[in-house]
């Protein structure tokens, strides 16, 4: 709980709460010894963070600011510990943060540049003293009523010695640990690499962009999309940015730090004289990869320590068995095979014993590709089967880090391409179908008969409703062995979507617990009684667990509920159909395969003549991994809404997208 007015924190009397956040509070207080108003920042105990680390952080902030003498940097007067909580005493400021000011809209160009110049002046002093702030953002820039900008919070500052080496007394940062705030990370911070003054330059550019446009340069709807923007997008390609500031921002926001201004002093020189060629080069347009992930940045949101790996150069190992990490890798593989995914529910990558075992191998040999691939494969599986929304949010970034390390050394590594495709096709990546298709097609060009490649591309074709393209791929996969059960399910669903007469034969070839969709085929064929009887048999065969497969970590209840809702709706029992649909959505909405259930729910709503609800479910399916134009366009279960203008407009959009993807597949494979 916040401290009550009158509480004494050391020599300071608390008067009021000025602000609070996830780490603690800032209070207005009175220093009776010197008779002045001050601000007291108190940090609460944070779960997973050692108290000594918090104290060290505060000591570092006080030491860092103490080395500086600049009017634009908030003065720190004292530090101490109160009831086991570290606190800092600073000058009390009157005004508002830049974040609060931006809440009222963008600044005009002259005002933005005036504040930006003051910020750069303060950071120039810090950089000259060998300090890198590492957490530049509007919340840490304070605008006083007197028109003075003050830089706050040097708690994450990295101190360097004149030689460029890190201060040995600074708080230790493990290799790969991400420090900073997600939306303002530089690319090198997002990757967990070493930082320097150019890291602050990047964040300053992001702040200036936000002042001029009123919107963040890189913050997007999800952490994954935000990381993608940092690593791949060029925010300068926007019409609401004053063209006169393009060169300045280009020199700040270059992805390659060697193309940025060297430090804040160089930005000031550019403000005075214009960017010199050697100071600011244009930002090249990167190939857009909209869901690209980065090391530990989402773990940062959870307060996790981030990912660790050596900064030593990766080196190829001719004989993996000769690697110093080989024995640790075998131990990780053994543990991986014997640890059910469902036993890891809710655990972050940092808490996952299998992930830690793979990391132990990488710690012994960062160049051990097999360990990176093993770690990525394990994490991608967990991402897909994650049953607890909001937990394990660092799984996808951790997987991408390992895959990017492999592909940086070997862009033609088929296993890594397939895993990156599979990762893109998950909720955590926002169901990035086109990026998934890019990687699957790239893998197909390299190894056209690889079972993993066939399974990945075949599954994408099934979900996109591309029967002509997916059928031969999945048939080849099944010819390679009966163990490719997921390929069999994909082919069965694909044949069912395409209303093909072979559907029954294909369904008979897959395991009984995977035949739920046969109910839908029977219903489409007007064999309603058979559909009902089959569903009863199916549920009885599964038993009380109702899962897709005996080893599946996700219960299949929501899938069965959606089919039951459809059958009830088709029989005119609206109340029961609606109840079952609501229960299916409650149970399954956040799970990876829910897009199949929403399709059944759309068909149920169509039967009940609930056009808006049917379209809502269809749009959800299309946007969450099941843009299945083949089914949308031909399924008789959707006939009750087929003449609806809104449905026709939706169908036309899906038709265009499907044709574009069909062309891409044809161009890649022929």
Tell me the catalytic residues.
Answer: 135
Q: Confirm if 150 and 138 have CB atoms less than 8 A apart.
A: no
What are the phi and psi torsion angles at 248 (to 5°)? -65, -45
User: CA 623, 625, 626, 627 torsion: positive or negative?
Assistant: positive
On the CB side of 432, how many CA atoms lie within 13 Å of its CA?
23
Count the residues in the chain.
670
Q: How many helices (H) and strands (E) does the chain have?
A: 27, 11
Identify which of 299, 372, 377 has the alpha carbon closest to the alpha carbon of residue 336.
377
> Quick one: 130 exposed, middle or buried, by C-beta within 10 A (0-12, 13-18, 19+)?
buried
Alpha carbons within 13 A on the beta-carbon side of 519: 27
Q: What tokens does 387 get?
A: 């049953």
Q: By the 8 A CB rule, do 427 and 221 touch?
A: no
In angstroms, rounded to a whole number, what is the distance separating the alpha carbons of residues 547 and 396? 25
Residue 322 CB partners (closer than 8 Å, separation 6+): none
Buried residues in 156-194 as b, exposed as e (16+ CB within 10 A): bbbbbeeeeeeeeeebebebbbbbbbbbbbbbbbbbbbe
Cite the beta strand spans of 538-666 per DSSP E. Answer: none
Q: Which residues contact 217 (CB under 8 A, 6 or more apart)?
A: 205, 206, 209, 210, 229, 235, 253
Residues facing 525 on adjacent strands: none
DSSP H helices, 233-368, are 246-253, 264-273, 297-301, 326-337, 353-364
Using CA atoms, how far residue 554 sits from 399, 426, 548, in Å, is 21, 14, 8
Cα 343–Cα 349–Cα 350 angle in degrees, nearest 5: 110
CA 609 to the chain's CA centroid: 38
Find the helix packing angle between 264-273 and 197-213, rounded to 10°.
Answer: 50
CA distance 602 to 595: 10
Give the integer Cα–Cα distance in Å for 568 and 607.
Answer: 9
HSE at residue 278, side-chain half, CA atoms within 13 A, is 2
Reading the block at residue 560, the tokens are 């069965």
Strand partners, 144: 95
Residue whose tokens read 């060009």:
445
Residue 345 contacts residue 391 (beta carbons within 8 Å): yes
Sign of the alpha-carbon dihedral angle for 131, 136, 140, 142: positive
Answer whether 107's CB lies under 8 Å from 211's CB.
yes
Of 446, 527, 460, the closest CA to residue 494 belongs to: 460
Residue that has been written with the tokens 């229960």 in this structure: 583
């Amino acid at each position: 709980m916040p401290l009550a007015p009158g509480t004494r924190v050391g020599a300071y009397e608390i008067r009021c709460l000025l602000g609070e956040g996830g780490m603690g509070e800032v209070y207005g207080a009175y220093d009776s010894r010197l008779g002045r108003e001050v601000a007291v920042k108190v940090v609460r105990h944070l779960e997973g963070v050692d108290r000594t680390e918090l104290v060290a952080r505060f000591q570092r902030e006080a030491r860092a600011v103490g080395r500086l003498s600049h009017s634009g940097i908030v003065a720190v007067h004292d530090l101490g510990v109160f009831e086991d909580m570290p606190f800092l005493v600073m000058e009390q400021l009157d005004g508002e943060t830049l974040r609060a000011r931006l809440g009222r809209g963008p600044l005009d160009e002259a005002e933005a540049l005036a504040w930006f110049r003051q910020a750069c002046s303060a950071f120039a002093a810090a950089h000259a003293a060998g300090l890198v702030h590492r957490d530049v953002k509007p919340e840490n820039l304070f605008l006083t009523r007197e028109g003075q900008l003050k830089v706050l919070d040097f708690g994450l500052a990295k101190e360097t010695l004149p030689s460029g080496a890190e201060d040995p007394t600074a708080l230790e940062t493990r290799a790969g640990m991400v420090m900073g705030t997600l939306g303002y990370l530089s690319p090198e911070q997002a990757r967990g690499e070493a930082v320097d003054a150019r890291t602050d330059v990047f964040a300053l550019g992001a702040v200036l962009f936000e002042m001029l446009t009123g919107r963040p340069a890189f913050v997007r709807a999800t952490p994954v999309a935000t990381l993608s923007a940092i690593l791949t997008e060029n925010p300068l390609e926007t019409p609401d940015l004053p063209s006169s500031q393009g060169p300045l921002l280009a020199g700040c926001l270059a992805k390659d730090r060697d193309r940025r201004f060297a430090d804040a002093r160089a930005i000031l020189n550019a403000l005075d004289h214009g960017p010199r060629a050697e100071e600011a080069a244009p930002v090249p347009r990167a190939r857009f990869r909209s869901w690209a992930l980065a090391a530990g940045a989402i773990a940062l949101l959870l307060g996790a320590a981030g990912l660790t790996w050596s900064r030593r150069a990766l080196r190829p190992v001719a004989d993996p068995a000769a690697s110093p990490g080989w024995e640790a890798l075998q131990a990780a593989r053994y543990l991986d095979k014997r640890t059910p995914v469902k036993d890891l529910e809710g655990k972050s990558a940092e808490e996952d014993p299998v992930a830690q075992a793979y990391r132990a191998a990488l710690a012994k040999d960062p160049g051990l590709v097999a360990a990176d691939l093993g770690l990525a494969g394990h994490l991608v599986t967990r991402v897909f089967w994650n049953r607890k929304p909001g937990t394990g949010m660092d799984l996808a970034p951790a997987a991408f880090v390992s895959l990017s390390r492999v592909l940086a050394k070997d862009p033609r590594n088929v296993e890594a391409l397939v895993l990156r495709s599979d990762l893109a096709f998950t909720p955590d990546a926002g169901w990035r179908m086109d990026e998934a298709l890019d990687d699957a097609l790239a893998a197909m060009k390299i190894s056209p008969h690889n079972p993993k490649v066939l399974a990945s591309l075949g599954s994408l074709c099934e979900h996109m409703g591309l029967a002509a393209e997916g059928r031969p791929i999945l048939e080849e996969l099944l010819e390679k062995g009966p163990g490719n059960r997921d390929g069999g399910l994909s082919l069965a669903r694909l044949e069912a979507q395409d209303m093909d007469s072979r559907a029954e034969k294909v369904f008979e070839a897959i395991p009984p617990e995977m035949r739920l969709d046969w109910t839908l085929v029977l219903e489409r064929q007007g064999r309603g009684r058979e559909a009902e009887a089959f569903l009863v048999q199916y549920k009885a065969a599964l038993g009380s667990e109702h899962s897709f497969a005996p080893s599946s970590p996700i219960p299949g209840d929501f899938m069965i509920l959606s089919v039951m809702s459809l059958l009830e709706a088709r029989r005119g029992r609206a109340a029961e159909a609606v109840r079952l649909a609501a229960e299916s959505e409650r149970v399954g909405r956040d799970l990876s395969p829910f897009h199949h259930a929403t399709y059944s729910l759309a068909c149920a709503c169509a039967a009940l003549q609930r056009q808006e609800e049917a379209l809502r479910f269809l749009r959800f399916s299309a946007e969450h991994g099941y843009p299945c134009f083949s089914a949308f366009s031909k399924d008789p279960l959707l006939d009750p809404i087929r003449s609806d203008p809104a449905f026709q407009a939706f169908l036309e959009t899906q038709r265009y997208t499907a044709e574009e993807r069909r062309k891409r597949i044809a161009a890649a494979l022929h």
